[in-house]
């Protein structure tokens, strides 16, 4: 039914879609098949529209819609319009960067599509529409909660007419801007660098959103008042203020500024979409075929990389070393894992660094670095999947009776290759920015975070890393309890850090002694086992 | 030499649909055994059972004296397997993939390197060690797959279309390698749709159709029983509709018609 609804809307948009130079029939078929495949696997607990995470996201959007609806009741209609479109755009932008933007660069079906006569722009448009289905559903749910309250503040007709219109324009603009950035990178850098460039764009944007404000605050502590005085330019570049202008203009405030805002509110979404589709007229199919990886591949063939060498002392069996090598290599090169894990993995430390720089000490560092603890589930969850998950037949065909050893090696590989560098990088930045006098508190914070992560990791319900295809991804309820516990663990780490960093002697002793439990916990990674429900 | 593979009354069904219906087989050590049949005949299912990848079946199966149902791990230590259309970890390098597979078989890195170096040298892939699997051609991937399947010196090798994608010289090399493996006392279980290769390479041939063995013997025995001719003709007589020219013409007519 939902599919028919989507296709019904698409059919009604045939004329404008064709006007953009898109082959409508192929576009519709590409979209239909993609959605059909997702619906077929969308029983509760699997990917797609039935995805539990998506349902939770919908609930979150509905609640935020209500929250902004309250703004209408308390602060008035203009503020309501600004808050509604601003929050909607911000939330969608973050989701697009972290998650739904990956639809644009999804390579899982490119081998099937590429041999057929599908133009770049048509394929891009079908991916864009696919993305819009999710984003549109979220926006509808957001506005349903929002309008329910805003309509009481009135004028009802204006709220009911302009609310959905502005929300629609906000959604189109947000999607257009994100997709436009992808298309721009494709056009400027070419197909060979497209996948890598878009990954780094996601990383940088997410890091900027999560921690950029804190870093700007740290580096511009003396420039605050100057920035505040110049904020009036925001109304020309901050789209939610355009929608406020549109609302005020329609309701009678016919000033030049409001007229200009109305023009921008109506014009920018159109410009964004047209510009995006124009940019995406070439290279898209080739761009999806491009490679993506971090760091170099070992040049000497058999000669292991620096990280790979660590597998010898850290692993206790051949099977562990197999898992270690696999996890280490794929965590740096597998496109699906990188897109799923890297933006969060870098954004959390950036946010931690930002907080660590601005908070007074104590508690200063502790709550900031506690944020890093929360980054662990991202790594473990994302590492379950792999672009070539079907290659896990190699494991099935091998004489490894207890696959736990491969799991143990893979977890060690993820610790060495992903988690430890992220922690050390965050610590290094903090020391560099706060000064060498902070080196001991930073080291202690890192040690405590590592201990909290290892404790959680030992209790985690593990699946075999890199053994599932992305299309088979499932929401992992079995670890939800651990994820919540990690949030508490983060706070606990913060408290312990405050207590131990208070006195210089205690700090010294803690720094020296903390590696003991760290080492003991790391040794216990040799005892982790595949969760009973995930022994595949 | 005795039988390395012994299968009695092998049955397997998926959701009530019978795929193997009482297959009996005996494969002697030191032979190349051709296992052929039309699409959907049950070849791949047989191989998955023999290699310990499928444990849910009826009948008695022994490979190298081991029961795939009860001793799958021990069995996998002694066999090598090259599936058709194998998915590999594209992001790994050739060296990393071989190390991964070799370590899963419990080999030391030094042994993996020494053996793999020989194979890659002969297959002219040594320069590809540091490159990623995704950059390899179809033939190169097939050579890599074959190398990874025999790296642990298995006693029995199961091959599903092993010559797929190989150039003529590489195909000759692989065929000679299979012969040398058999001459060294190892057993090669060879599945293919390329009849002339099966005819020339295999010591014995079994033809499977609809989950049942319809013929088994040396090529000469099969040919004598069917009044001579190539393996392709014998195969078509035993398993085909026998109206292939008419069917082909029907396909062309379908292309020329507009369906109205």
Would an 8 Å CB–CB cutoff place B53 in contact with chain A?
yes
Condensed to tens digits (0 to 9), the pLDDT of residues A396-445 reads: 888 887 789 999 999 999 999 888 888 888 888 888 877 777 888 889 88
Task: Please report which confidence band the pLDDT of residue A296 belongs to, taking 50, 70 and 90 as the band edges.
Answer: low
Q: Which of residues 137-176 of B touch A (CB under 8 A)?
A: 148
| pLDDT at res. A62 | 93
pLDDT score at A18:
92
Residue A340 in this model has a pLDDT that exceeds 70: yes
State the smallest CA–CA distance between residue A393 and chain B in angstroms: 8
Q: Which of B75, B88, B94 sits opposite A388 (nearest CB)?
A: B88
List the domain boundaries for chain A: 2-288, 312-534
Task: Decide if B80 contacts B152 (C-beta within 8 A).
Answer: yes
Residue A472 has pLDDT above 50, yes or no: no
pLDDT band at A476 (very low <50, low <70, confident <90, very high): low
- Listed residue (A273, A263, A214) closest to A239, CA to CA: A263
**Chain A interface test: which of B71, B94, B104, B145 (most A C-beta within 10 Å):** B104
Q: How sure is the predictor about A107, in pLDDT bands with cuts at 50, 70 and 90?
A: confident
Assigned token pair, B169: 């010289």
Q: Greater confidence, A387 or B201?
A: B201
CB contact under 8 A, A399 and B105: yes
Residue A25's nearest CA partner among A4, A11, A12, A38 is: A11
The whole-number average pLDDT for the span A244-268 is: 90
Q: Which residues contact B180 (CB under 8 A, 6 or more apart)?
A: none
Compute the mean pLDDT over every residue in chain A, rounded to the nearest whole number: 82
Residue among A160, A133, A166, A117 nearest A58 (CA): A133
Rounded Cα gap, residues A57 and A52, in angstroms: 9
A40 burial via Cβ count (<10 Å: 0-12, 13-18, 19+): exposed
Could you tell me if B99 and A325 are in contact, meaning their C-beta atoms sit under 8 angstroms apart?
Answer: yes
- A-side interface with B, Cβ within 8 Å? 291, 293, 297-302, 318-319, 321-322, 325-326, 329-330, 333-335, 386-388, 390-391, 393-401, 406, 466
Do A300 and B130 make contact, defined as CB atoms within 8 angstroms? yes
**Residue A47 binned pLDDT confidence (cut-offs 50, 70, 90):** very low
Q: For residue range A146-180, list pLDDT tens digits in order.
A: 998 888 877 888 888 899 999 999 999 999 999 99
pLDDT band, residue A199 (cuts 50/70/90): confident
- Mind listing the pLDDT tens digit of every residue in chain B (260 residues)? 578 999 999 999 988 889 999 999 999 999 999 999 998 889 999 999 999 988 889 999 999 999 999 998 899 999 999 998 888 998 899 999 999 999 999 999 999 999 999 999 999 999 999 998 988 999 999 999 999 999 999 999 999 999 988 999 999 999 999 999 999 999 999 999 899 999 999 999 999 998 999 999 999 999 998 888 889 889 888 887 666 778 888 888 888 877 65
Q: Can you give the pLDDT at residue A183?
A: 85
Rounded to an integer, the average pLDDT of A130-144 is 92
B23: part of which helix (H) or strand (E)? Answer: strand B17-28
Cis peptide leading into residue A416 (ω within 30°): no
Using the 8-state DSSP alphabet, how is residue A298 labeled? P
Please count the other Cβ atoms lying within 10 Å of the Cβ belonging to residue A216: 14
Q: In what order do the strands lie in the sheet with B58-63?
A: B17-28, B3-14, B58-63
pLDDT at A526: 93
Region A209-235: mean pLDDT is 64
pLDDT of residue B200: 92
* Measured CA distances, A350 to A210, A366, A431, A523 (Å): 7, 14, 14, 29
Q: How far apart are CA A135 and CA B99, in angstroms?
A: 44
Helix (H) or strand (E) run with residue B190 in it: strand B187-191
Give pLDDT, residue A364: 62
CB contact under 8 A, A297 and B129: no
User: A361: pLDDT confidence band, cut at 50, 70 and 90?
Assistant: low
Is the N-terminal amide bond of A155 cis, ω within 30° of 0? Answer: yes
Number of A/B CB contacts below 8 angstroms equals: 107
Contacts of B91 in chain A (CB under 8 A): 293, 329-330, 333-335, 387-388
Check CB contact under 8 Å for B96 and A325: yes
Where is A91: in which H helix or E strand? helix A77-98
B249 touches chain A (CB under 8 A): no
pLDDT at A210: 75
CB atoms A321 and B130 under 8 Å: no
Q: What is the pLDDT of residues B210-237, one digit of tens each?
A: 899 999 999 999 999 888 888 988 988 8
Instruction: Say whether pLDDT at A359 is over 80.
Output: no
Q: Are B55 and B68 a contacting pair, CB within 8 Å?
A: yes
Domains of chain B, with CATH numbers? 3-86+155-256 (3.40.50.300)
Structure tokens at B76: 């996998």
CA distance A402 to A395: 11
Closest approach of B145 to chain A, Cα-based (Å): 10
How far does chain B reach from its first CA to its final CA, in angstroms? 63
pLDDT band at residue A231 using 50, 70 and 90 as cut-offs: low
Who's near B17: CB < 8 A, 6+ residues apart? none
Contacts of residue B86 in chain A, CB cutoff 8 Å? 391, 393
| pLDDT greater than 80 at residue A477 | no
Averaged over A506-524, what is the pLDDT? Answer: 94
Read off the pLDDT of residues A84-94 as tens digits, 9 standing for 90 and up.
999 999 999 98
Structure tokens at B72: 């799958």
A333/B113 touch (CB, cutoff 8 Å), yes or no: no
- Identify the residue with better confidence: A325 or A433: A325
Q: Is the pLDDT of residue A181 over 50?
A: yes
Sequence-ordered alpha helix ranges (H) in B151-187? 168-183
């Amino acid at each position: 039914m939902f599919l028919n609804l989507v296709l019904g809307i698409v059919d009604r948009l045939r004329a404008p879609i064709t006007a953009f130079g898109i082959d409508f029939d192929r576009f519709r078929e590409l979209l239909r098949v993609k959605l059909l495949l997702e619906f077929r696997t969308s029983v509760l607990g699997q990917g797609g529209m039935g995805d539990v995470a998506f349902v939770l996201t919908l609930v979150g959007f509905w609640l935020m819609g209500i929250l902004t609806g309250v703004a209408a009741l308390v602060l008035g209609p203009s503020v309501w319009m600004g808050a509604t479109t601003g929050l909607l755009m911000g939330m969608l932008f973050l989701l697009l960067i972290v998650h739904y933007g990956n639809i644009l660069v999804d390579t899982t079906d490119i081998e099937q599509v590429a041999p057929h006569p599908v133009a770049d722009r048509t394929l891009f448009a079908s991916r864009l529409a696919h993305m819009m289905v999710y984003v549109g559903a979220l926006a509808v749910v957001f506005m349903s909660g929002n309008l329910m309250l805003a309509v009481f503040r009135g004028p009802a007709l204006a709220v009911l007419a302009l609310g959905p219109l502005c929300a629609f324009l906000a959604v189109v603009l947000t999607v257009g801007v994100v997709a436009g950035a992808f298309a721009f990178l494709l056009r400027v850098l070419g197909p060979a660098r497209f996948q890598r460039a878009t990954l780094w764009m996601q990383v940088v944007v997410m890091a900027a959103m999560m921690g950029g404000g804190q870093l700007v605050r740290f580096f511009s502590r003396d420039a605050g008042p100057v920035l505040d005085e110049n904020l009036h330019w925001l109304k020309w570049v901050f789209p939610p203020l355009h929608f406020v202008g549109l609302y005020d203009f329609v309701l009678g405030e016919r000033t030049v500024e409001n007229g200009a805002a109305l023009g921008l509110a109506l014009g920018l979404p159109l410009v964004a979409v047209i510009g995006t589709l124009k940019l995406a007229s070439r290279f898209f199919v080739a761009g999806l075929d491009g490679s993506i990886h971090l760091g170099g591949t070992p040049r000497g063939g058999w000669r292991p990389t620096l990280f790979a060498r660590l597998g010898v002392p850290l692993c206790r069996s051949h099977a562990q070393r197999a898992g270690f090598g696999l996890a280490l290599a794929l965590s740096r090169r597998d496109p699906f894992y990188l897109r799923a894990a890297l933006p969060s993995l870098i954004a959390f430390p950036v946010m931690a660094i930002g907080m660590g720089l601005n908070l007074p000490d104590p508690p200063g560092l502790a709550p900031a670095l506690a944020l890093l603890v929360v980054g662990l589930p991202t790594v473990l969850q994302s590492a379950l999947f792999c672009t070539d998950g079907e290659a896990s037949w190699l494991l099935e065909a091998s004489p490894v009776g207890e696959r736990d050893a491969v799991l143990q090696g893979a977890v060690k590989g993820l610790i060495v290759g992903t988690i430890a560098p992220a922690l050390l990088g965050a610590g290094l930045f903090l020391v560099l920015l706060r000064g060498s006098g902070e080196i001991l508190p930073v080291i202690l914070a890192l040690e405590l975070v590592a201990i909290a992560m290892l404790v959680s990791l030992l209790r985690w319900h593990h699946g075999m890393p890199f053994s599932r295809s992305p299309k088979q991804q499932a929401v992992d309820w079995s670890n939800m309890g651990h994820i919540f516990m990690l949030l508490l663990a983060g706070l606990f780490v913060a408290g312990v850090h405050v207590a131990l960093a208070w006195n210089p002697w205690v700090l010294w002793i803690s720094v020296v002694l903390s590696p003991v439990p760290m080492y003991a916990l790391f040794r216990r990674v040799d005892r982790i086992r595949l969760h009973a429900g995930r022994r595949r | 030499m005795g039988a390395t593979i012994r299968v009695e009354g092998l049955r397997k069904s998926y959701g009530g649909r019978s795929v193997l219906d009482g297959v009996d087989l005996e494969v002697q050590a030191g032979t190349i055994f051709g296992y052929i049949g039309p699409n959907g005949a049950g070849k791949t299912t047989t191989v998955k059972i023999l290699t310990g990848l499928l444990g849910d079946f009826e009948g008695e199966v022994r490979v190298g004296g081991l029961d795939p149902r009860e001793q799958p791990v021990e069995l996998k230590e002694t066999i090598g397997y090259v599936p058709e259309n194998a998915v590999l970890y594209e992001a790994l390098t050739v060296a990393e993939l071989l190390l991964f597979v070799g370590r899963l078989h419990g080999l030391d890195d030094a042994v993996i390197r020494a053996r793999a170096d020989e194979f890659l040298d002969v297959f002219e892939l040594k320069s590809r060690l540091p490159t990623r699997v995704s950059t390899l051609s179809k033939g190169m991937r097939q050579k890599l797959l074959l190398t990874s399947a025999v790296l642990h010196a298995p006693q029995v090798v199961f091959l599903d279309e092993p010559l797929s994608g190989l150039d003529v010289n590489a195909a000759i090399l692989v065929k000679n390698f299979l012969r040398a493996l058999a001459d060294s006392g190892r057993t090669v279980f060879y599945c293919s749709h390329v009849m002339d290769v099966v005819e020339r390479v295999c010591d014995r041939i079994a033809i499977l159709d609809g989950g049942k063995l319809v013929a088994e013997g040396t090529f000469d025995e099969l040919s004598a029983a069917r009044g001579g001719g190539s393996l392709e003709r014998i195969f078509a007589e035993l398993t085909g509709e026998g109206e292939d020219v008419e069917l082909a013409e029907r396909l062309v007519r379908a292309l020329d018609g507009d369906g109205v």
